[in-house]
Structure 1
Amino acid sequence: MFSPAVLTHWVPATADVHGDPHDDRLRVVVDDTLPDNRSVMLLELVTGGGCLSLTPQRATQSGLVAGALVDPDDVRRALGAAGVALHDPDHLLYLPLEEQAVLLDESPPSGTRQLDAGDEGDGAAFAGFTAAAPPADLDEAFVELDHWLVVGTFVDDRLVSVASAYPWAGTTLADVGVLTLPDHQGRGLARRTVRALSGRALAAGHEPQYRCQLDNAPSVALARAAGFAPLATWQVVDVDD
């Protein structure tokens, strides 16, 4: 259903996780290459099961043993008892292979095109866009003109929706952010902007990745409308807790 590149990145080869809907236990993976801000990662596949990846120090701290299959509630209790807090979970959504084939044959609608940080006109249009956007929405969406790939949708020569993407953790996954100005929401502009960006990313050999928090229902609905499907939920250690 999903590209092998997605599963290879998120599910360690040593995890032996196949997504069993009748078994939600998590495989414990001890990995001494994890950085401090990823020293504990909890991945729960929507198809069932998943894995807990953690450094040797975190494993010792929480009493979890490499290779063990552990109930998710027991994992959370062990981490909590060890004083390990996790950030709120994110949805991880990707384009199924059949949707990718559709996108690669799809042409962006008129008014939707790639933006260039070096183009003065695009720079001015983006500056006007950010000036009109609510600051909190800008911060959450994390769309930037200097990202690896940026696509915008114009209405009456005004930039009203932007999607941007950057390579995720040194991989060919392309993490997507999107924002539409409030007075143009509800018109399908975000969907067409995200699809146009996703098609360009795929053509460049990258895999679009859509992340959002579980309680962000509008963002989940947008991802679904743009053709994405959920792979898993993902939590990382809160190093500031």
Structure 2
Amino acid sequence: MGSRAPGAAVNRGARITLNDPDYVFYLPVAEQAALRDEPALGGTRQLTSEDENAFVRFAGEAPEADIDEAFVELDHWLVFGTFVDGRLVAAASMYPWEGTRLADLGVITLPDYRGRGLGGATVRAISAHAIAMGYEPQYRCQRDNAPSVALATSAGFTRFGEWEVIVRTGKTP
């Protein structure tokens, strides 16, 4: 059974779940051009299956709510991380929307490493790689997640709009 997003409302009569609205962000063309020439922060690189131990440790140290909300997985289509003193402290992953060139991303930074620009550097590096592959990075987060909104903005993303998801919770009559 799937879990419901925090704050989601369920209408049992209609058997649908309305999830809290997300903000949707995109990278403007000028920002995409800047990324092409920007070197990645030292310690930031693409992750592979060889990074499994570092990623498992990272996921074990990250707050459970962050793991649930950000949906960052080592087996996603594209994964980047930032290491400090050999320790993975920020990770971002992407997966393309089926039939499109949009690539949705999530990011997690360990609490002790927040506010240092590491999450933003990870987001910029993964976004640059996706753009080089012909994809359009998309950043989504819940409207009440002020730190994630700030990270999107600091990474060069611009708010495009809001998205509210309706999920059926049972069979229709």
> 1:18-167 maps to which residues of 2 (within 5 A)?
86-117=18-49, 119=50, 122-167=51-96
1:6-47 alpha-carbon deviations (Å, 9 max, x no partner): xxxxxxxxxxxxxxxxxxxxxxxxxxxxxxxxxxxxxxxxxx
- Normalised to the residue count of structure 1, the TM-score between the two structures is 0.62
Cα distance in 2 for partners of 1:123, 1:88 equals 32
Note if 1:212 corresponds to 2:137: no
Note if 1:176 corresponds to 2:108: no
Q: Which has the larger radius of gyration?
A: 1
> 1:198-237 maps to which residues of 2 (within 5 A)?
198-237=127-166
1:85 Cα offset (Å) = 6.4
1:92 Cα offset (Å) = 0.9
**Stretch of structure 1 that moved more, 199-208 or 166-175:** 166-175
Cα distance in 2 for partners of 1:188, 1:127 equals 22
Cα distance in 2 for partners of 1:132, 1:87 equals 27
Cα distance in 1 for partners of 2:164, 2:87 equals 38
- Normalised to the residue count of structure 2, the TM-score between the two structures is 0.86
Which residue of structure 1 lines up, in the alignment, with residue 3 of structure 2? none
For CA contacts below 8 A with separation 6 or more, give which structure has more relative contact order.
2
| Alignment gaps of 5+ in structure 1 | 1-79
Cα distance in 2 for partners of 1:214, 1:129 equals 26
1:90-137 alpha-carbon deviations (Å, 9 max, x no partner): 1110000010000011110110000012x2xx1111111111112221
Cα distance in 2 for partners of 1:153, 1:230 equals 25
1:170 Cα offset (Å) = 3.2
Cα distance in 1 for partners of 2:57, 2:99 equals 31
Structure 2 residue identity aligned to 1:228? F
Q: How much is the aligned-residue C-alpha RMSD, in angstroms? A: 1.8
Instruction: Say which structure is richer in strand.
Output: 2
Structure 2 residue identity aligned to 1:87? N
* Greater than 2 Å deviation, 4+ residue runs: 82-87
Structure 2 residue identity aligned to 1:167? P
